Amino acid sequence: MIPLLVALALAPAGPPPPPPAPPALDTAWFAGGCFWGVEGIFEHVAGVVSARSGYAGGTTRNPTSEQVYRGGTGHAETVEVVFDPARVSYRQLLMIFFLVAHDPTELDRQGPDSGTDYRSIAFYRDSAQRGAIDALIADLQAKHIYRSPIVTEVVALKAFYPAEAFHQHYMEHHLDDPYIATNDVPRLAALRREFPGLYRAVW
Q: Dump pLDDT digits (tens) for 136-155.
A: 999 999 999 999 999 999 99
pTM: 0.89
Residues β-bridged to residue 26: 83
Average confidence (pLDDT) over 169-193 = 97
pLDDT score of 106 more than 70: yes
Would residue 144 count as lying in a domain? yes
| Residue 97 belongs to some domain of the structure | yes
167 located within any domain? yes
How many percent of the chain have pLDDT more than 70? 89
- Residue 124: count of CB within 10 angstroms of its CB: 20
- For CA atoms 121, 122, 126, 131, give the dihedral sign: negative
- For the beta carbon of residue 159, count every other beta carbon within 10 angstroms: 13
| Strand residues in 84-195 grouped as ranges (E) | 109-110, 113-114, 120-124, 153-156, 160-162
Exposure class string for 85-119: b at 16+ Cβ within 10 A, else e:
eeebebebbbbbbbbbbbbbebeeebbeeeebbbb
Has residue 104 been placed in a domain? yes
Give the CA angle between residues 113, 116, 117 to the nearest 5°: 70
> What's the pLDDT score for residue 203?
85
* Chain centre distance of CA 82: 7
Give me the mean pLDDT over the 181-195 stretch: 97
- 87 given a catalytic annotation: no
Does residue 3 fall inside a structural domain?
no
Residue 172 lies in a domain: yes
User: What share of the chain has pLDDT > 90, as a percent?
Assistant: 88
- Are 96 and 41 a contacting pair, CB within 8 Å? yes
pLDDT band at 8 (very low <50, low <70, confident <90, very high): very low
Using an 8 Å Cβ cutoff, are 171 and 36 in contact? yes
List the CATH number of the domain containing 118.
3.30.1060.10
Domain of 141, in residue numbers: 23-194
Number of domains in the chain: 1
* pLDDT grade for 2, boundaries at 50, 70 and 90: low
- Does residue 38 form part of some domain? yes
Task: Read off the pLDDT of residues 62-80 as tens digits, 9 standing for 90 and up.
Answer: 999 999 999 999 999 999 9
Give Cα separations from 26 to 23, 51, 63, 90 (angstroms). 10, 12, 25, 9
Grade residue 10 by pLDDT with cuts at 50, 70 and 90: low
Q: Which residue out of 28, 31, 34, 100 is catalytically annotated?
A: 34
Whether 164 maps to a domain, the answer reads yes
